[in-house]
Structure 1
């Protein structure tokens, strides 16, 4: 039995059942072939308003369920993701443009997010406090109520479920707004998984939509926390709107992550690390290695090997086997990538590989002799581009690595890991990987950036998820009523 029936979600949104979308509908299109795969409903402001009100009503019963009941639902959701892995991978390849390995990774991580969230439901959720009075004083973490999740197109399954699963486990209701470009693999899949796992009607609702739906979700008084993953410019707008309504916004935003290759690095290993960091999933990952900082003594050898790897990678349809890289999500994003590459070459960068495209397929690209003012170095490309800058001293390296307004992930390749840690101490970054590239994600680890990469909020791990999706409440109890002089 399949997980998805296109007849159910055609032109519909998920409110606990598949219902007509007041905001209209849109085509589900494969970026690999341009084939129309179906139609999905698009939520308007009225859809969001009704969903938020429905969620607020349903949340009370869900929060009253025992932690065992909520944990069981999350475990079933993880099992369903594994059971329907092949079908979900197929949608991720066709609709999301993910190569087979990347699609499989998304399903694996999504299942792990559910299993970790199931364990989160039974974690201690408070502490006994000292008090100067004859009473019991304690704090406890209580559900926020309704959580609004806004997820992007690039890694849609993971970037939706990493907020949805822990928020549900902690007793919240969730309204998820996936990107319309990946509304099936990042929306309908989660709707059906959690419906079949036993989430009560109204506790999870899935409303694909654009700016109108996003603004309505942030503004709605029933929604107390916004979890947003997307670009830094869009995140600024979400954060500003949330602040006006005095609600928390967890913002996981863009990046331009540096990969440092020290003079004592194994060049062959470093080139493999660098190629994976920049080219995986066509570079459409917030943690993608956007800047290669290479010691001048090994830079020529590194660039030669990196370019060879770029030239050898197969780029093609993710609907078929064999492609290492698939299509860019749409023509607008492809043209932005190409514009940054061409302007960088015009500014003096040397094109060592790539720099060309066919339809939405962009060749993995290596740019050498890049400077901090080169467009493809200074900006987040969000495509398969590896700009290489050479450095000579540690001071120069630290200045280069820390000069970006972004601070999401940092990789350092060196034969001396302690040297890598010393560099990490001097470069602001939410994530550091020594002797690895910049792209990684585990359900058990806190994830998030600093600077323009986010507000310092974190997803993943027990403490981070508790802080993200609960409120702290102070409670006192005493045997007799208090007495006062008036």
Structure 2
């Protein structure tokens, strides 16, 4: 029996829209986007439903989350097809999203069992303790690139901890990043009114952040959009957890095993067409290995297949739309004009962009017709582009890694893990992977970036407790206290 019912996708009050397959342009379904008035209605309904949900015994909440995890697996074929076709994902990436979605639900179910607080010492004759209480209504704004995971990693723990949720998925992945979750949780037995899915534009996002009944915002998206979300949340005195962009460094030291490193390096920049915030945007390679590294990475890029992931077994699918394609094309073209050498790729057909290696990606590179700094090195490309630059000393490597205003992930490849740990202590990032690439995520691990990459570890494991609950201090006396009045 099918999980998804298209009739559920047209009940909102915004503009009509279409779910489009980027690989072919085929319309997969018609739907309706949300309007700001839908946010008002959803937040009111969610706030009313949340009070009863928070009072439910924790085993009831945990059971709903466990059933949701089971359902992601039971309906994997149907949901996976939507991830492949609507998000342009290869099948392996869709399978990873489904496994992780199930794991996120199982991990969230365990949150409902966690201790609620702690007993505190007090200088007065009283019982003093803290308890964690649900935040209330949580607003989740999720992007298109890994739509299921980047929605469920906030939705599942927020629900498990007794909150209601209003989810705004990206309109480009409204089904696999939004309506899928509504259908799964409804079938899992989540009471009505606790989860609302409102795909829409920036006006819907602003309404969600501003609504007084929404007390916490969990946002994943670009740094520019995150700044706006954070500023608006601050005006309304509510917490905003911001998981933003990146331009992560992937350091290859002189002792690296390049035979082992090539798969890691290619995955770091080309996984899901580079449309991942953790993507390695700067390959920093010791000068003694630089030319060999560039040649090997270029050969690896040339060997990867690009095409329709639903109808063929390929390594890379399409980028999400023409707007994203235009940005990638412009950044690579401007970098070439600045003197960067295109060692592989740099071409596209329709939305299928070849994995690209840019050599001599010095931000100060100049050449005929130079336009100045190499933008594909300095900026987040969000496409399958791997800029490579040489360093000669570890101090130079640290300086280059720290040039970016982002602080999301760092990968270090070396035979000396202890030296890598010492080196990483000098490069502030939220995530560190030694002898692995930068695109890593697990439900049990705290996840988040620093500086322009966000406001720290806000997802995963115990970090979810801080993200989606408030701490209340309580004292209890046997008799009323006496004061000198």
TM-score by length of 2: 0.97
**Is residue 2:475 matched to residue 1:479?**
no
- The residue correspondences of 1:441-460 to structure 2 (distance < 5 A) are 441-460=441-460
Q: What's 1:105 paired with?
A: 96
Q: What's 2:48 paired with?
A: 57
CA shift for structure 1 position 455: 1.2
- The residue correspondences of 1:25-40 to structure 2 (distance < 5 A) are 25-40=16-31
Q: What's 1:410 paired with?
A: 410
Give CA deviations for 1:432-469 in whole Å, capped at 9, x if unaligned.
0000000001000000000100012420012x100000
Q: What's 1:346 paired with?
A: 337
Q: Is the CA contact 1:268–1:302 (under 8 Å) kept in the aligned structure 2? A: no
CA shift for structure 1 position 5: 2.0
Q: Distance in 2 between matches of 1:52 and 1:9?
A: 19
TM-score by length of 1: 0.97
Q: Distance in 2 between matches of 1:142 and 1:197?
A: 24
Q: What's 2:439 paired with?
A: 439
Give CA deviations for 1:82-115 in whole Å, capped at 9, x if unaligned.
0001111100001010000000000000000000
Q: Distance in 1 between matches of 2:260 and 2:346?
A: 24
Give CA deviations for 1:259-297 in whole Å, capped at 9, x if unaligned.
000000001222221101000000000000110000010
Structure 1 range deviating more: 230-239 or 451-460: 451-460
**Is residue 2:160 matched to residue 1:180?**
no
Q: Is the CA contact 1:100–1:321 (under 8 Å) kept in the aligned structure 2? A: no
Q: Is the CA contact 1:457–1:468 (under 8 Å) kept in the aligned structure 2? A: no
CA shift for structure 1 position 352: 0.6
Which segments of structure 1 move beyond 4 Å, counting only runs of 4 or more?
none
Q: What's 1:148 paired with?
A: 139
**Is residue 2:362 matched to residue 1:371?**
yes
Count of aligned pairs between the two proteins: 476
Q: Distance in 2 between matches of 1:378 and 1:156?
A: 26
Any gaps of 5 or more consecutive residues in structure 1?
12-19
Q: Is the CA contact 2:430–2:457 (under 8 Å) kept in the aligned structure 1? A: no
Q: What's 1:120 paired with?
A: 111
Any gaps of 5 or more consecutive residues in structure 2?
364-372
1:437 is paired with a residue of what secondary structure?
coil
2:425 is paired with a residue of what secondary structure?
helix
Q: Distance in 2 between matches of 1:455 and 1:485?
A: 45
CA shift for structure 1 position 154: 0.4
Q: What's 2:15 paired with?
A: 24
Q: What's 1:15 paired with?
A: none
Q: Is the CA contact 1:93–1:318 (under 8 Å) kept in the aligned structure 2? A: yes
Q: Distance in 1 between matches of 2:32 and 2:219?
A: 21
CA-based RMSD:
0.8
Q: Distance in 2 between matches of 1:388 and 1:451?
A: 23
CA shift for structure 1 position 485: 3.4
CA shift for structure 1 position 10: 3.8
